[in-house]
Amino acid sequence: MTMVLAAGEAPEFLGPVVALVCVAGLIGAVFVRLRVVPIVGFLLAGVVIGPHQLGLVSEEAYVQTAAEIGVMLLLFTIGIEFSLERLAQIKRFVLVGGAAQVGLTIAVVAGLVVAFGQDWRVGVFTGFLVALSSTAIVLKVVAAKGITTQPAGQVTVGTLIFQDLAIVVMVLLIPLLATGEGAGGGGPAGIVRALGTAALVLTAVLVVARKLMPPLLERVARLCSPEVFLLTVIALALGVAYLTSMAGVSDALGAFLAGMVLSESRHSAHALSEIMPLQMLFSAVFFVSIGMLLDVGVLLGLWWLVAAFAVAVVVIKLVTSLAAMALLRVGLPTAVVSSLLLVQIGEFSFVLQQTGAQVGLNPAGMGGQGGQLLVAVTVILMTTTPAFAAAGERLARWVGERAAVRGRAPSTGGGAPVPSGDGRDRVLIVGWGPVARNLGGYLRANNIPVTVTTLSPELAAEAEEQGHTVVRGDAVRASVLHEVGMASVRLIVVCENSGEETTHIAESLHNVAPGVPIVARPRDAPDVAGLHHADVRRVVDTSRAVSEPLAHTVLDLLDVAHASAGKPDPTVVVAFEPAAETGCPHVGEIRPVLPWSPGCTGCLKRGLRDWVHLRVCTQCGYVGCCDSSPQRHASAHSAEAGHPIVVSAEPGEGWAWCALDEIEVSPAVRGTPSV
């Protein structure tokens, strides 16, 4: 059946979607200019356009559907970043700090709710909601402050990981906490069943992550099709979410577990880079939809209660987080920074609230009013998270200074990064192929570390075999560059793309790292104007895969001395003219050539530089070492390629040698080959 809209008509959903996206983009841009996390802007955009305020979006069904997809993709990308390897590195922070923070928060909140006359089950459910923090917002704040690898960042991330994993148990326990007859069988037996189900779900995730997912993604990645790869990733996220929902587990939680499955593949960075644009769109819709739930009228009417609840949440989470940090013995500055990062209520709490509403549970036993209070407190605390983070840094700095005054060494786990010099020592090579391969070998021979980005699994494996660090994915994606670690990159080389692609990559990388010089070597004619606009430092214009001129340029920019530079010069044409009276019948095959490299090509590929003399093939320009050299690459090339005549590349020599006739070929004019 085909639906045709009359002229002037528009789909019913188009107006709300346009209003949502435009207002979210506008307010998000304002908050970016203010250097505030854009998610805060999305929350406020939802408050402004929601049905309770301006009413630009009155039909919530469309937004709710998009928000459900958004939270799944949001948690899927979070799961990708929480790999099992990363869990193992900070397992103490996860198992001790996270468990203590969640357990203490649930206990304190449940005790307070019971003290105000509510059932203990309602107290535990409310404790579940309060114990969780916003993984999406906190991770962005931690990354923006550059403390991900510092103690404060690791403790915070470890606690967030435990919270997200604890949701598996929480979702399964909520039906058991319901007071109605259809709750699903409470008591110890029900709790044991819930814990057993959670264990089975996590075990299945581990099995799939280790056994099934890597070979599947490897096969898809080998197609080198971003479109097919993206569809596979989305199918994985939504498919696992659907299967877990059928098993009685939240679909959003299933998407998170799917991300953890994908994190075990070496293509996780590639997957994250492909799905990130979609994730950003749908997560914006998700946070806007949360803001739309807030009724400002209720907030104004119950402002004192909202303020009291917000203060209570901050105090409870601050105290319980500090107590958990004390068990870890990470030092007071680190504990302060981490605790103030965790004081908000997280996006997963809305997933739990919906699960509880289905079985008759609501926050603090306050019915619909409790739901509004949860939304109001969550929006306020999410919005103020950057302010709490800044306060944590200042307080940690003050604590450290006081400790120094008293003669004690302050903890190094504070929020501010410790200066350690420039630290830029790495060359980033975008793409992998013949030119990049030779360049990588040349750089390794000069003890310069290399990072390679590529979409091809085969080329990535080849680069890894040569000892380079490899990040799989598109170099213009922010998540790929984050894994590369642009703070350590001294020079960028784009050398295996077409002219148009090279310009696009150079422009993107220049915007990300404006202070890092870029060298471009397109496969075809370069877009000189475009590359100049992208502030590319050097353009190597060649239609051949000649990597050594590029290597020469790179080493010059790095101020690295290289013994073989300029001998021969790969940019100078070698045009040997034989004497007329020569007796060699193969001189007709001699042609002008460009040397392949400034040293023996075969030796440079292997990181060697122990040749005696150099020879240049007069048919293709291959540079090889002479028969007095250990490797004898000139003769080997002549035999393999069937190119008989080589010319001496030594200064002051101008003779050639025919390997087939084993005779010297004299030049027309004695001396160096003509240029």
CATH number of the domain enclosing 620: 3.30.40.10
Look at residue 471 and tell me whether its pLDDT is greater than 80: yes
What is residue 87's predicted lDDT score, i.e. its pLDDT? Answer: 67
Residues 548 and 568 in one domain: no
Within a domain: 166:
yes
DSSP labels, 306-357 = HHHHHHHHHHHHHHHHHHHHHHHT--HHHHHHHHHHT-SPPTHHHHHHHHHH
pLDDT confidence band for 583 (50 / 70 / 90): confident
The residue type found at 226 is: P
- CATH number of the domain enclosing 25: 1.20.1530.20
Does residue 620 share a domain with residue 504? no
pLDDT recorded at residue 248: 62
pLDDT band with cut points at 50, 70 and 90 for residue 106: very high
At 491, give phi and psi (nearest 5°).
-155, 145
Please check the confidence at residue 317 and state whether its pLDDT lies above 80.
yes
Say if residue 25 is in the same domain as residue 152. Answer: yes
pLDDT at 231: 82
Percent of the chain whose predicted confidence (pLDDT) is above 90: 10
**pLDDT surpasses 70 at 243:** yes
d(CA 86, CA 108): 30
Phi, psi of 157 (to 5 degrees): -65, -40
Residue 320: predicted pLDDT? 93
Average pLDDT over residues 327-348: 86
Are 83 and 164 found together in one domain?
yes
Average pLDDT over residues 628-648: 90
Q: Which of 352, 368, 393 is the last residue of a domain?
A: 393
Q: Which residues contact 356 (CB under 8 A, 6 or more apart)?
A: 125, 174, 177, 362
> Which pLDDT belongs to residue 264?
65
The count of C-alpha atoms lying within 13 angstroms of the C-alpha of 375, restricted to the half-sphere facing its C-beta, is 24
The 663-665 sheet, strands edge to edge: 623-625, 614-617, 645-648, 656-658, 663-665
Are 171 and 249 found together in one domain? yes
Tokens of 286: 């998700």
The predicted pLDDT at position 318 comes to 93
pLDDT(673) > 50: no
Give me the domain span that covers residue 444. Answer: 426-557
Instruction: Pick the most confident of 6-15, 293-302, 664-673.
Output: 293-302
State the angle between helix axes of 151-177 and 348-358 in degrees (0 to 180), rounded to the nearest 10: 10
Q: Is the pLDDT of residue 107 over 90?
A: yes
The DSSP annotation for 561-583 comes to --TTTTSS-TTS-BB--B-TT--
In a domain, 420, yes or no: no
410 within a domain of the structure (yes/no)? no
Residues 389 and 471 in one domain: no
> HEC states along 603-621?
HHHCCCCCCCCEEEECCCC
Q: pLDDT (tens digit, 9 = 90+) per residue, 425-452? A: 789 999 888 888 888 888 887 888 899 9
For the chain, what's the residue count? 675
| Residue finishing a domain among 393, 410, 444 | 393
Residue 226 lies in a domain: yes
Q: Are residue 470 and residue 379 in the same domain, yes or no?
A: no
Higher pLDDT pick, 409 / 392:
392
The amino acid at 202: L
Q: Of 557, 572, 588, which closes a domain?
A: 557
Contacts of 93 (CB under 8 A, 6+ apart): 154, 155, 157, 158, 159, 328
CA distance 415 to 150: 8
> What's the pLDDT score for residue 485?
81
Shared domain for 143 and 235, answered yes or no, is: yes
Question: Is 356's pLDDT higher than 80?
Answer: yes
> Is the same domain home to 552 and 573?
no
Predicted confidence (pLDDT) at residue 103 exceeds the cutoff of 50? yes
CATH of the domain at 512: 3.40.50.720
Residue 53 belongs to some domain of the structure: yes
Is residue 482 domain-resident? yes
Distance CA 237, CA 241 (A): 6
Note the pLDDT of residue 58: 62
- For residue range 45-93, what is the model confidence (pLDDT) as tens digits? 777 777 766 666 666 666 666 667 667 767 777 777 666 666 666 777 8
DSSP letters, 219-262, are HHHTT--HHHHHHHHHHHHHHHHHHHHHTTS-HHHHHHHHHHHH
Rounded to 5 degrees, φ, ψ at 83 are: -75, 160
Q: Is the per-residue pLDDT at 7 higher than 60?
A: no
- Predicted local distance difference test score (pLDDT) of residue 672: 44
* Same domain as 285, residue 179: yes
pLDDT category at 634 given cuts 50, 70, 90 is very high
pLDDT at 3 over 70: no
Instruction: Tell me the average pLDDT of the chain.
Output: 76
**Number of compact structural domains in the chain:** 3
Residues 7-34 have a mean pLDDT of: 69
Helix (H) or strand (E) holding 454: strand 450-454
Handedness of CA 290, 46, 477, 134 (dihedral sign): negative
d(CA 312, CA 51): 29
C-alpha separations of 216 from 211, 219, 588 in Å:
10, 5, 54
Q: Is pLDDT at 421 greater than 50 in this prediction?
A: no
- Domain-located, residue 75: yes
Q: Is residue 69 part of a domain?
A: yes
Residues 272 and 378 placed together within one structural domain of the fold: yes
Residues 546 and 571 placed together within one structural domain of the fold: no
Cα angle 127, 133, 135 (rounded to 5 degrees) comes to 145
